[in-house]
Amino acid sequence: MTNRRRANRGRYLVPVVAVFLASTAPAAVAAAAARPPVPVAAPAPSPSSPSGQSPQSTPPSGEGATRWSVAPANAKGPDGRTRFSYEGLRPGAVVSDFVSITNLSTVPVTFRVYAADGITTPEGSIGVATADVKPTDVGAWTRLGHGSLRVPPRTRVVEPFTITVPTNATPGDHVGGVIASITQAVAGTQVGRESRIAVAAYLRVAGPLTAALGVEAVSTSYHGTANPFGGGSATIAYTVRNTGNVRLSGTQAVSVTSPLGTEAVTTPATLEQLLPGDSVRVTARLAGVLPAGPLKAHVTVTPVQVPTAPAVPEPLQPSAQTVGLWATPWPQLVLLLVLAAFSAGLWQWMSWSRRRFDTRIAEAEARGIARPWAASR
């Protein structure tokens, strides 16, 4: 079976100036030889985009900075898509398509053009692996016409590519990206810095689909407060794993309950997207948690269909975990000890005062000078 990606394997993404979202629109056009360069006009700034660039263009970083854009295309040029998306692919299928690379600079630029696997970032969104990570999924299935392209200034090149789905590909979603990058020297060093733009490629291989998220490895800790009349806080950390074979979003809810019936609740941010087999570590902090001894932490994650992705099997069932934690009420215990000590001291003082009073009365009576009010006692 084809290996899937794991969020914590290898390196994560480097900065990618692109909108990396899902799409349900299929695209497959006939492959052809790379088209000759086409001159393009420099883009004019617009009110909504001060740089005059699309989301898949690099922002200028100074006078004479290298600027370029990458977009899905047909044989003639960009065709309006913002990502590559292919559905219902059978194992062994071959998809042909085009990518447009536009040099918006005033000097020639040599681009490295390659494909990489998609990954889930630690923040719970989708990116692409770095160039030094060997692809095993969509990045390995993709073949481009050229690995390097020198593009004249203010010129566009259309590059053909093919994606061949392996005969042993697992059903479900597979994600990668087509990337155009440049490497620039860092001033004063011998280190090169890669700047790149990726266009997402979303594939769905036909077969049985499973949509599910799981909650794993829940850990808890309690942080007390010196205020005996206030609550402390609890930190709940857990792993959310996509146990199905389609990409999913997810909502989260975390709460802590006590035997006294009190409850503290928080709602961590919605997981943007989680690829099949990948996981993210989430940490939630809850305030106002009373230290009532044995507490319970509840974590619930509910899968959500990615709005721009193909439909997934329903109904989507939530996944929940409950674990215990202990919150010793130290401030309250100290307060009780202080009150107990004060009460004991007050009682002893009152007892001592009473005994002293009684002793003086007895001495007065012995001398025959007891007062009427004392005799009436």
Domains of the chain, by residue range, sit at 38-205, 213-328, 331-375
What are the residue ranges of helices labelled H in the chain? 138-141, 330-366, 372-375
The pLDDT value recorded for residue 175 is 97
CA distances from 36 to 30, 114, 148, 158 (A): 17, 19, 15, 8
Asked whether 159 and 101 are in contact (CB, 8 A), the reply is yes
Q: Do domains 38-205 and 213-328 have the same CATH topology?
A: yes
The sign of the torsion formed by the CA atoms of 144, 145, 148, 151 equals negative
The pLDDT value recorded for residue 15 is 38
Question: Residue with structure tokens 């948690």?
Answer: 289
Q: What are the tens digits of pLDDT across the range 56-69? A: 655 445 556 889 99
The pLDDT value recorded for residue 25 is 32
The pLDDT value recorded for residue 24 is 31
Q: What are the tens digits of pLDDT across the range 253-282? A: 999 998 888 889 999 989 999 999 999 999
CATH class, range 38-205: mainly beta
Helix or strand (DSSP H, E) at 349? helix 330-366
**CATH match for 213-328 among 2.102.10.10, 3.30.390.50, 3.40.190.10, 2.60.40.10:** 2.60.40.10
User: Which stretches of the chain score pLDDT less than 70?
Assistant: 1-64, 190, 226-227, 230, 328-336, 369-377
DSSP secondary structure letter of residue 127: E
* CA–CA dist 274, 276 (Å, integer): 7
Query: How many other C-beta atoms lie within 10 A of the C-beta of residue 278?
Result: 24
Specify the 3-state DSSP secondary structure of 374.
helix
